Every structure is written in C-alpha cells, then in structure tokens.
Structure 1
Amino acid sequence: MVNLLTDRDFWVNYWTSKKGLSFRIPENYLFHKELEEIIDREKIKTAIELGGFPGYYAVFLRKYFKLDVTLLDYFIHPPVTDDLLETNALQAGDIHVIEADLFNHQERGKYDMVLSCGLIEHFNDTGDIIKKHVEFLKPGGTLFITLPNFRALNGWFQRKFDRENYEKHNIHCMDPELLASICKQEGLTVKEARYFGHFSLWLEQEKEKPVAVRLFKKATWIAGKVLTKIIPFNSKALSPYILIEAKKEL
C-alpha cells in the first residue's frame, strides 16, 4: 500500500492555486492558547513544524514567542515563505527552512517541540507518520498534532461536495483514542487527545462551488455557530479538529 495519499504535484497545484497566502498572523491564531500553555509550562526554546508550508505556525511561534523555529516540507516555494515573513515583520533568516522528504531527512532528536497541523491525515500508515514526528523530539520534548475531524458534519460536506479532496484524507485516523494509543506505543505520555472547536465548516475552492452549495453551507454554518454559541461544547459530531499533545519522557 502506498503510504502517502497525495504527491508533490498535488501540493504544487494546491498551493499555486491559492490566493492571499501572506497575511499578518494574529496573536490569537488557531490553537494559540494551547501552544502558549505548552511553551510556558515546558520552557520550549526550539520547535519544528513538519509539513507546514507556507509556515504559518513556524512564523507564529517565532513572531510571538521568539522560538528557534524550523519549517520542514517537501514542497517549499521560497517567494511565498519570504513574503509571509516580511508581512509579519520578520526576515528570511528568522526561521530555518528545509525542503526535504520527511521520511528521508536524517536530522533527529533536536527539538523541544515537534508540531504539525493538518499533515498526518494525508498518510495511510498513521503509526509510521507519528513515529517520524517522535524521531525529531528531544527527551522531555512535546509532540503537538492537530488534524481535521472529517467524521464530523464538516466531513459530510467534504464527502458530498468535494469528494476529490475528501479522498485525499485518511478518515480512519481521525480518532483521538486511536492517536493516543499510537503515541503510547511510541513511549510517549499523552497529555491531551480530544476533539477541538465547537463548530465550523469549510470547502476548498469554495468560490468555485455552485451557488446552491455555497448558500446551503452558509446556512448550516450560521445554524451551527448559533447552537454552539448558546451551548458551547466539543464533540465528535460537530468539532472541526482533533488535537493531540504528548510528551517524550527523559
């Protein structure tokens, strides 16, 4: 079985089709509270973002926490990353950028924190890709992984209205208990393994979808936001993300 559900051509086409990739990353960027807590508690000094081009979290961690940050992805388009840095009042050398295949790169055991946001669900073998994350961790380091929850209502939208994109994701891995068990098998202590976020919906290239689909999506989004504003809760059925935090013992 081929482990990777996408290839380099997919990501080249994906990113080159995107507009507005550079923006000022806000202090309250998604997962900011969780990351700030980890950085303060664990005294994080170094971090690597895996599969993170253009480098939003690498830039976020450098900009607001002054970490020594590395971005590693097997597709890097330097003008985009350079523009993102400049937009956020950073310079080209402020983050280390590595264009390499995660499975062949030999740099291991260097970082206080290893994070990826939206990476592991593009692989068939979830255990293998998490193992690669762990190999970058120092003893005592923290693993922080987030991924979309396509077992929620958002996943139904993906499957119904963007089947091609849906099939680029490993739906089976979108299970906090499964991910926690894999982390434990790798010798990590699991701190968090849970659904994250009260409600959200999105579609790739939404502007290209039929008007009826966009209106239906907007109406559902409003209804879900109202419901979870009145009764805020995280759940398998509605939460748009899954979050895993685990620690490699000394």
Structure 2
Amino acid sequence: MENLLTDRNFWVNYWESKTGLSVAIPSNYLFHQQLSDVVKNNKVETAIELGGFPGYYAVFLRKYLNLDVTLLDYFVHEPITEQLLATNGLKSNDIHIVETDLFNYAPEKQYDLVLSCGLIEHFTDTADIINRHIAFLKPGGALFITLPNFKALNGWFQKKFDKANYDKHNISCMDPALLKAIVEKAGLQVKQASYFGKFSLWLENEKDKSIGVRLFKKVTWLLGKVLTKVVPFESKQLSPYIIIEAKKIS
C-alpha cells in the first residue's frame, strides 16, 4: 500500500534482530504518569494498543492499572508475548491478541482507551491512520498517541548514522499543531498536543555502529542531559517525543 513506509517483512526482520525482549515492565515506564492520569480521568476499563508488539504498554496497562487490554498488530510472535507476560507475572490470557492488518480489519468492538506508541509515523497519510485509531474508540473514550520527534537533535542522529531507519518515518507528521488539527477535524476534543521529554538520543542496534559513532553519541547525550538539567523544558529542538491526547465527544 502506498500509505505504508514499512511492510511486514521489515517488522519481521526488525524484531528478529532484537534480543532480550522479555523484560520486566517497571511501574515508572515511559509515559506512565500520563497514562495513569488518562485512565483515572476517563474511568477507563478497556483499552487496545495498536501496533504494539511485543506488548509493553499492553502489559503496563494490565499489570499496574488492571485494565481489560487488547493488543493488535499485523506481526505478533506469540511465544515472545507469552514470555513477556510470564516475566511480568501475568497469564497468557491476561491480554487479548489480534494479529491482523489494520487496513483490512473492521473493529469488532470499541474501547475506552485507544493508544499507540510509535506507530503513526510509519504511514504517509497521517489523518488516515489517526482516523483508524478513532474507529476503535467508544463515545467518551480517550485517544492517546505518542511518536518520536525526529525534527529534534535525535532525528539528526538518525538521519546521519541510520538513514535507512530514518527513511521509514514520516517526518512531516512530527508536528503537534498538525496532529491537533487532524484530531479536532475528526470531532475529538484535544486535551494535549505537545513535545515530551527534556532530551534523549538513541540509535537502533547501536552495538553494530562504529566505536566513533557510539562515543560521539554518548558524549552528545551527556552534554544534552547536563544542558536540560540547567534549562529544563520541552522543545522542538531537543524533546525526543510528541504526545497527542484527546477525548471522543459523546
């Protein structure tokens, strides 16, 4: 499909290159406070994570917030997800799994919370992929989407040292104002559309990069952390993530 910047083979290769996927998800996992507030403020009982394999956020929501959670992705290797659940003290049936192509799937039910973390930036038509999220959302439900901010310094690192990975991302969608406009046009009430995090850098499969690249990245990371300790604020230039949170009007 022309809307896709990746395909199933890309994600098979991506996850097969990873090791140590079955980790214990901590209570202070990334976006934990934001998700906890969303669940509390919207009285969330059911949630679906789209494009979330192996299911870290689904596990977080089940383990710490006791939600009825579904994980939907078009690549799910169930032994990995089952091991992840076991590592976190959960049973194999504690999370519902749907392995399907989001573009050929009609939602069988709707949820109080629909979330994705690092999904929408892999599609060229941002409005389309966001509207596919909204199709899963109950009236009165909460939408929670996060994505990386490759317009920040972190994006320069990706483009410079991992161009193949950078090219799998739709950089133009990494704009809180654009995302806010899309969600509002769909009829939702936007609660926040903002940059998130003071500073961070990462590279996929960093261990495979040259010593020089790894050293440069480490020094830059340390300098950025010092700078944002002195001047602690979110910004387009340094913040590693973007958050969009909205409510579907009843």
TM-score band, normalised by the shorter chain? over 0.9
Superposed displacement of residue 105, structure 1: 1.4
Report what 2:246 is aligned to.
246
Amino acid at match of 1:105: Y
- 1:73 and 1:99 in contact (8 A); partners too: yes
Report what 2:117 is aligned to.
117
- 1:108 and 1:135 in contact (8 A); partners too: no
Report what 1:25 is aligned to.
25
Report what 1:140 is aligned to.
140
- 1:108 and 1:137 in contact (8 A); partners too: no
Aligned alpha-carbon RMSD (Å): 0.8
Report what 2:7 is aligned to.
7
User: Unaligned 5+ residue runs, structure 1?
Assistant: none
Stretches of 4+ moved more than 2 A in 1? none
Superposed displacement of residue 212, structure 1: 0.5
- 1:137 and 1:248 in contact (8 A); partners too: yes
Aligned residues: 250
Say which SS state the counterpart of residue 11 (structure 1) adopts: helix
User: Unaligned 5+ residue runs, structure 2?
Assistant: none
5 Å matches for 1:1-250? 2-107=2-107, 110-250=110-250
> How far apart, CA to CA, are the structure 1 residues paired with 2:156 and 2:6?
21
> How far apart, CA to CA, are the structure 2 residues paired with 1:246 and 1:183?
8
Superposed displacement of residue 110, structure 1: 1.1
> How far apart, CA to CA, are the structure 1 residues paired with 2:189 and 2:237?
27
> How far apart, CA to CA, are the structure 1 residues paired with 2:158 and 2:226?
21
Percent of paired sites with the same residue? 68
Say which SS state the counterpart of residue 71 (structure 1) adopts: strand
> How far apart, CA to CA, are the structure 2 residues paired with 1:103 and 1:135?
12
Superposed displacement of residue 118, structure 1: 0.1
Greater Cα shift, 24-33 or 102-111: 102-111
Say which SS state the counterpart of residue 93 (structure 2) adopts: helix
CA deviations 1:21-71 (Å, max 9, x no partner) are 011000000000000111111100000000000000000000001100000
> How far apart, CA to CA, are the structure 2 residues paired with 1:102 and 1:148?
21
CA deviations 1:76-127 (Å, max 9, x no partner) are 0001000000000001000000000111111255100000000000000000
CA deviations 1:157-205 (Å, max 9, x no partner) are 0000000000000000000000000001110000000000000000001
CA deviations 1:201-248 (Å, max 9, x no partner) are 000010000110000000000000011112211000000000000110
> How far apart, CA to CA, are the structure 1 residues paired with 2:125 and 2:110?
24
